[in-house]
Amino acid sequence: MVVTTTDTAVQVSVELTPADGVVIEGNSLGVTIRIRALRPASIENAELTLIRKVNYTYGRGNIYGGVFPARDRSTELIASVTVPAPGAIPAGQTRVLSGTLTIPTDGPASVRGDLIDVGWSVRCVLRAAGGQIIKRERLIDVQSWGQTSATDIGHPPVGEHLGQVALEFIALSSRVLEPGTPLTGVLRMRAHDTAATRGVRVQLVRCEEVWGGPGQVADPDASESEGYRHSEAVMAAVTVAPAGTLTPGTVVDLPFAVETPAGLPAPSLSIGNLHVRWEVRAVVDLPLRLDPRLSLDLLAVTATHQPSGRPAERAAERPVPGSLDTD
């Protein structure tokens, strides 16, 4: 995509490499600026800046004991590069400037969530003779391997309300969640008591947590009045068993395949007070009772190709299909 705009004396086009503006953390982004003079002009300085904007919602209490959501916004200038300015440009002629910006690996990549939003852009600033400043900005999408949350794939499963029904993931294709790659596995269900169900489903869930507001120490045990906020969104779901009656002692193995969205809105993330987890969750729908459920953390990546030999690949080594140990 090329963005072209016209000022009084020049026409400016901004191109990115890759052209779609999608870049993986740790990689480089090429920026090309084309300047066409509509009349004699002089560009004395040209600068490229990599910008990250972080917006998130946290909890705030008041003197009356109420809690309300508050929003914090910050803009960071991550890196700047000065490129050689073309100087005088005769009317009708074009000058091409180019530079490279490297995406760091130590900060949050692009996130589009309910509580957390992280956006990236490239800003081009040209300073012309006479003090005129020309600015152009292009949004980019920074993809991530989710390595700030690499330990998530080592977390054991977490069960809730399992008094009547025991649940276990006895097989899972991977604990690394990749865009557009289905998550398959087998859920084992063992009934302890007779119970009527309205079905069994397996969900792909994105969980966001904010552990405090600006200037606060990140604390996962903080109350909402102390800054904590939590949000969950079911990104995909599949029904693996219809409504029926569970018989005590019966063991049922339920294969499943959950379609992963082609464009995940966020990678797994754990930086400071901002946290995004992804999990596969099995839920038994019981009428008028708390639903038994079992959740297992995944490592979500938004990058679409894993280079061989990267340390990140070794940190997120995938289990062999069917070998999941949930003990």
Q: Indicate if 137 and 204 belong to the same structural domain.
A: no
Q: Indicate if 84 and 194 belong to the same structural domain.
A: no
pLDDT of residue 320: 34
Q: How many CB atoms lie within 10 A of CB 131?
A: 7
Q: Indicate if 15 and 92 belong to the same structural domain.
A: yes
327 found inside a domain: no
pLDDT of residue 308: 41
If pLDDT is split at 50, 70 and 90, which confidence band does 195 have? confident
Q: Is the pLDDT of residue 286 over 90?
A: yes
Q: Which of 123, 143, 163 is the last residue of a domain?
A: 143
Is the pLDDT higher at 8 or at 164?
164
Q: Is the pLDDT of residue 313 over 70?
A: no
Q: Indicate if 87 and 170 belong to the same structural domain.
A: no
In CATH, what number is assigned to the domain containing residue 125? 2.60.40.640
- Residue 312 is inside which H or E element, if any? helix 311-315
Q: How far apart are CA 78 and CA 76, in angstroms?
A: 6
pLDDT of residue 3: 54
Residue 17 CB-half CA count within 13 A: 9
Q: How far apart are CA 225 and CA 131, in angstroms?
A: 49
Mean pLDDT value of segment 233-259 = 95
| Rg (alpha carbons) of the chain, rounded to whole number | 25
With 0.85 as the threshold, say if the pTM is over it: yes
| Tens of pLDDT, residues 36-77 | 999 999 999 999 999 999 999 999 888 777 888 999 999 999
Q: Indicate if 282 and 186 belong to the same structural domain.
A: yes
- CA dist 270 → 15, 78, 109, 278 (Å): 32, 19, 11, 12
74 found inside a domain: yes
- Residue 183 main-chain phi, psi, to 5 deg: -100, 115
Q: How many domains does the chain have?
A: 2
What is the residue whose two structure tokens read 């995509």?
1
Q: Which of 103, 120, 143 is the last residue of a domain?
A: 143
Judged by DSSP in three states, 309 sits in coil
Contact between 92 and 12 (Cβ < 8 Å)? no
| Tens of pLDDT, residues 127-153 | 998 888 999 999 999 999 999 999 999
* Containing structural domain, residue 132: 2-143
Q: Indicate if 154 and 127 belong to the same structural domain.
A: no
pLDDT-above-70 percentage for the chain:
91
324 found inside a domain: no
Contact between 89 and 41 (Cβ < 8 Å)? yes
Q: Indicate if 302 and 206 belong to the same structural domain.
A: yes
What is the signed CA dihedral for 106, 300, 270, 316, rounded to 10 degrees?
-70
Q: Which of 143, 175, 196 is the last residue of a domain?
A: 143
